[in-house]
Chains A and B, each alone.
Chain A
Amino acid sequence: MKDKILEKKNLARLIEHLREKYEVVGPKKKEDVFIFDYIHGDEIRLDYPTTILPPKKLFFPQREPLYSYEKKNGEVALKDLMKKWTKKHLLIGIHPCDVMGLFILDKEFGGDFKDPYYLYQRQNTVMICLICKEPTEHCFCDVMNTGPTIEEGYDLLMVDIGDRYYFQPGSEVGQEILEWELFKNATDEDKRKRDAKVGELENKLCSRFKSEGIDKKLRERFNDELWGPYAEKCVLCGACNFVCPTCHCFTIEDETNLTGTEGRRVKAWDACHFKNFALIAGGLNFRGQRTSRVKLRIYDKLCYSMERHGVYSCVGCGRCTEFCPARIDIREIIEKVQKG
């Protein structure tokens, strides 16, 4: 199937067309920032630089009810609270780094054990990936090999080429969407513009540091004095955990009524930076030290994930740096470790 184009003026109509078949989620403006949310055609903002929360929240929500229980006359009844979507979902406008982040979550939630809540939502979502308009000042996908474009992980890949969007299919579902009447065949000129756009982004994303071998360097520097200042500077607020496309830690909580006869169990985002993250019954805290928690997140992204999955689990989206109240910059850490 040939690549297609859609004139920008038809974008809102495309969204409304897709909404006939799907629940459409995309970037929209909320006050001064951009978020992923359910959208109508007039709300979509494909010029967004980044969002606060990555689209992982669609597959791994902040609070996800797992099941409910009811105690009655000595009996207990359980009910699975797994969502059953009436319509498939379609996520439009997800940037390449965030798609790569989902590949990491696929490994975490679909490995030896399968998380049915995550996998259901993941498997029932069509993905339209969007090449970024501009890198933000915090982006480093070039270093992590997660952008500016990707080869897989999408049903459609779209690029802004001026007055139109360039679409290429990555699956049969994507091809079917391109059969809609307002899509036109892409010309050689469109293709040239598309390639030029990617080239332009590659030139802008010229980070002066590399990720290759950082896992080995980190092994050597586990007890290095380098970490002390970061442990002092970090306020351990957990913001970097929550905005990260690959942070997957969660806790399991019970919400009960006052008498405890009814309630539900919930899977909720947690952060390894929080003080009681590794506290066990009896009061022993395996991560009582600030350094232990600050290092864990960095090592998990750039060292442990390599041992576990053979890939780095930092995708270079820059959110942890952008939203850090203590202005800790993960790029600076990578650079320092690489310099040795």
Chain B
Amino acid sequence: MENPYIPELAVIKEIKDETSDVKTFKISFRDKKSLDYLPGQFIELTVFGYGEFPTSISSSPIPRKDFFETSIKRMGDATNALHRLDRGSIIGARGPFGNGFPVDKLKGNNILFVAGGIGSAPLRSLIYYTLANREDFGSLKLLYGARAPDDIVFKNEVMPEGKIGQGLDVFLTVDKANEKWRGHVGVVTTLSKETEITPENTFAVICGPTVMIKFAVAELLKMGFQKDQLIVSLERMMKCGMGMCGHCSIGAKYVCKDGPVFTCKETGKFLELPF
């Protein structure tokens, strides 16, 4: 029987500094195995000697599956230890886990990506996926809020001259500007007024801190979005990733197995508050 607790050995191929506390790691499996995954799924990463943690995949499975990327903020022992590693270091990876974004359901529609902070990581996967199949989708817009200009993750991709550029309209905002910032200031929900968004044929895909999800969902409902047009990716303590250890439960659901992606119609039926 396959043992889903034992990670595959993997190699850090590249490391990119995104901000002072976020790095993007490009990772390949040791045995050259490719990883079949969907945008929105996550991996359990092991830094040997420090422990394991769940992290979303920030790359797109299209066009290449011989590596994956994950963008990680320094938070605790294991993520700090990962940040200290160099290219070529060996780590462990289990997965992918979770349901991922409903990419087939999104086809033929406009998509509004709403990202807060490091919550932009799983959305980056979906954005590159939609851009690789650009003709399948209507308008694509990204509303992205960060605490400060220096905290914007994937800066060289999403800033006006960035490489994502064509095919996606990017609206950035920061909670607190610095002297160089000429853009919008305010929480991400304040951006929605400037972007000519209408709910018709549109799905909003939201990921970020729990409190940001709460306000973004409330704002979008006010704008006339229906609950099944709002798709959220939730964060919980996902220890095993397989719906066994119990830590990520919300009511009868396990975020790791039944989620992490839910529509607000689904989360509305949970007995416990999802965000």
> Which residue from chain B places its CB closest to the CB of A219 in the assembled complex?
B271
* A-facing residues in B1-47 (Cβ within 8 Å): 1-7, 9
Cβ-based interface call for B88 (8 A): yes
1/0 contact string of A174-203 vs chain B (CB within 8 Å): 000000000000000000000000000000
Cβ-based interface call for B226 (8 A): no
Cβ-based interface call for B247 (8 A): yes
Contact A286 B236 (CB under 8 A): yes
Report chain B residues within 8 Å CB of A265. 5, 52
Contact A263 B244 (CB under 8 A): no
Report chain A residues within 8 Å CB of B240. 250, 252
Contact B237 A280 (CB under 8 A): yes
Interface size on A, residues (CB 8 A): 55
1/0 contact string of A47-88 vs chain B (CB within 8 Å): 000000000000000000011010100111010101000000
Report chain A residues within 8 Å CB of B246. 248-250, 270, 272
Report chain A residues within 8 Å CB of B164. none
Contact A252 B249 (CB under 8 A): no
Contact A252 B239 (CB under 8 A): yes
Report chain A residues within 8 Å CB of B90. 74-76
1/0 contact string of A215-253 vs chain B (CB within 8 Å): 000010010000000000000000000000000111111
Contact A281 B247 (CB under 8 A): no
1/0 contact string of A90-129 vs chain B (CB within 8 Å): 0000000000000000001101111111011000000000
Cβ-based interface call for A267 (8 A): yes
Report chain B residues within 8 Å CB of A282. 75
Report chain B residues within 8 Å CB of A136. none
Contact B245 A249 (CB under 8 A): yes
Contact A280 B235 (CB under 8 A): yes
Contact A248 B9 (CB under 8 A): no
- A219, A267, A280, A281: which contacts B5 (Cβ < 8 A)? A267
- A120, A219, A250, A279: which contacts B244 (Cβ < 8 A)? A250
Cβ-based interface call for B242 (8 A): yes
Cβ-based interface call for B48 (8 A): yes
Report chain B residues within 8 Å CB of A270. 245-247
- From B235, B245, B248, name the one whose CB has the most chain A CB atoms within 10 angstroms: B245
Chain B's nearest CB lies how many Å from the CB of A40?
Answer: 33
Report chain B residues within 8 Å CB of A119. 1
Contact A303 B252 (CB under 8 A): yes
Q: How far is the CA of A224 from the CA of B162 in the complex (A)?
A: 52
Contact A254 B49 (CB under 8 A): yes
1/0 contact string of B224-251 vs chain A (CB within 8 Å): 0000000000011101101111111111
Report chain B residues within 8 Å CB of A248. 244, 246
Cβ-based interface call for A277 (8 A): yes
Contact B52 A260 (CB under 8 A): no
| Closest 8 A/B residue pairs (Cβ) | A260-B49, A249-B246, A281-B75, A113-B242, A304-B252, A307-B252, A116-B1, A66-B5
Known: A66-B5, A116-B1. 16 other contacts (CB 8 A): A67-B5, A76-B90, A114-B4, A249-B247, A250-B244, A259-B49, A265-B52, A267-B5, A272-B249, A277-B247, A278-B248, A282-B75, A286-B237, A299-B271, A303-B252, A304-B249
Q: Report B's interface with A, CB cutoff 8 A.
A: 1-7, 9, 48-53, 75-76, 79, 88-90, 92, 210, 235-237, 239-240, 242-252, 257, 271-272
